[in-house]
Structure 1
Amino acid sequence: MNKTILYVRASTSEQTSDHQLEQATKAGFKIDEVVTDHGVSGVSTHLADREGGRELLHKLREGDALVVRWLDRLGRNYRDVTDTLRSLLDRGVTVKTVINGMVFDARPKTATEEAVRDALIGFMAAQAEAQAQATKEAQRAGIAHHKVASPEKFKGRKPTFTREQLDQVIALAEAGQGQSAIAKATGVNRNAVIRITQNPAKAEAALERWGS
């Protein structure tokens, strides 16, 4: 029996699978199954390289329908999206979008319908990549601005210990002293002692960023 599968790529905490499923249901789709990738970028990872993406490609069969909120859920790289769509269509999988109710029919009835479908695929995939690139450029500009306006923000939390205290903590830890004893002997907060002993290089790097 043919299935309708919703694929969700939720790259942020606001983009939940429940929210995208609710949108699809309200748009009139009867979803049989949901496949999700959480916290995954559509720019740097191809569909076939994601855990959920691999599961999706394995499950889809000829005659099935794949539903996505928008083509950018499949990816934001032009060639990846177009290659993925054409591969799915060649396998007999129809792809539908919740936004605007677009349908990319795996079996178009005429050559004209097929030509229109293919043109739309190219246009929409290019649009997704352009939008991703614009977002990335805006983020870079924002980061550059804040590095100048608020340099402390990009240094991370200021260390609560000096370089001398760092050396003391490491030396006492190597001598087999317990964390509470080290904290008492050096005056360094016990939580900071724990962080230092777990990752001395990271503690050293923090001091470097703050010029200590």
Structure 2
Amino acid sequence: MKTILYARVSTGDQTIAHQEAQAAAVGFVVDEVVADDGVSGLSTCLRERPQGRRLFDLLRRGDVLVVRWVDRLGRNYADVCDTLREMMRRGVVVRTVIHRLTFDGATADPMQQAVRDALIGFMAATAQAQAEAMREAQKAGIAQARARSDVYRGRKPSFSRAQYEAVRSALVEGRGISAIAVATGLSRQTVYRIRDNAAEAEAALARWA
């Protein structure tokens, strides 16, 4: 039996090294890292990614698949649900770094199965909703930037694209403002501004790109 960390990085998202460090920090001893870099989790299913296909070939019954959060598997509701259920059918245990959740097919109790499946559905839906909200915020930000670019660029944002997306992801995951500020290196006030007006934060990034 082995433990495999799957990491996925899309443009401006967390680095693979960061995801490895997070897993190690909470006690995971990883035998192998499989990673896709620059791949969208919304438009590209896990099986269609170069290393995602390899992941399915590597995993065997009794192995543990570690992911930072289910959004690393994907941001498409149906794909994430199908992936988690396929892993459980294969006898693979899926564990998340954030909140230390465990998904396996060991239980035969129908009530426990129902709770587990409901949680899978909720998290998969949250991952897709987050991705769509970020995409809409980006569109709105670009539109605002274009409308104002000929007039005034405003103050340069105190956060990078990677920090912005890290904050948005952490907020959806339910992490506290102080914890997010520490993890991203931003002030609490900046995290609040991003939370309260994501479109304007996106617009500021677009204006200063």
Matched positions, count: 151
State the match for 2:38 in structure 1: 39
State the match for 2:115 in structure 1: 116
Letter in 1 for 2:97: V
CA deviations 1:20-55 (Å, max 9, x no partner) are: 111101111111110000011111100001011011
Instruction: State the alpha-carbon separation in 1 of the partners of residues 23 and 116 from structure 2.
Output: 22
Instruction: For residue 106 of structure 1, report the CA deviation from its aligned partner.
Output: 2.4
Instruction: For residue 107 of structure 1, report the CA deviation from its aligned partner.
Output: 1.1
Instruction: State the alpha-carbon separation in 2 of the partners of residues 37 and 140 from structure 1.
Output: 25
CA deviations 1:141-172 (Å, max 9, x no partner) are: 011111211269xxxxxxxxxxxxxxxxxxxx
CA deviations 1:46-102 (Å, max 9, x no partner) are: 000101101111101111110000000000010011011111111111111000001
Moved more, 120-129 or 100-109: 100-109
**TM-score, structure 1 as length reference:** 0.68
State the match for 1:94 in structure 2: 93
State the match for 1:175 in structure 2: none
Letter in 2 for 1:106: G
State the match for 1:137 in structure 2: 136
Is 1:18 aligned to 2:14, yes or no? no
State the match for 1:4 in structure 2: 3
State the match for 1:104 in structure 2: 103
Instruction: For residue 8 of structure 1, report the CA deviation from its aligned partner.
Output: 0.2
**Secondary structure at 1:12's aligned position in 2?**
coil
Percent of matched pairs sharing the same residue: 58
Instruction: For residue 109 of structure 1, report the CA deviation from its aligned partner.
Output: 5.1
**Secondary structure at 1:30's aligned position in 2?**
coil
Asked which structure has the greater CA Rg, the reply is 1
RMSD: 1.5
Instruction: State the alpha-carbon separation in 1 of the partners of residues 12 and 40 from structure 2.
Output: 13
Letter in 1 for 2:25: K
Q: Where in structure 1 are there 5+ consecutive unaligned residues?
A: 153-212
Instruction: State the alpha-carbon separation in 2 of the partners of residues 3 and 110 from structure 1.
Output: 27
Letter in 2 for 1:137: E
**Secondary structure at 1:133's aligned position in 2?**
helix
Instruction: State the alpha-carbon separation in 2 of the partners of residues 94 and 83 from structure 1.
Output: 14
Letter in 2 for 1:18: A
**Secondary structure at 2:5's aligned position in 1?**
strand
**TM-score, structure 2 as length reference:** 0.69
Instruction: State the alpha-carbon separation in 2 of the partners of residues 19 and 34 from structure 1.
Output: 12
Q: Where in structure 2 are there 5+ consecutive unaligned residues?
A: 152-209
State the match for 1:203 in structure 2: none
Greater RCO, 1 or 2 (C-alpha within 8 Å, sep 6+): 2
State the match for 1:176 in structure 2: none
Instruction: State the alpha-carbon separation in 1 of the partners of residues 60 and 83 from structure 2.
Output: 14
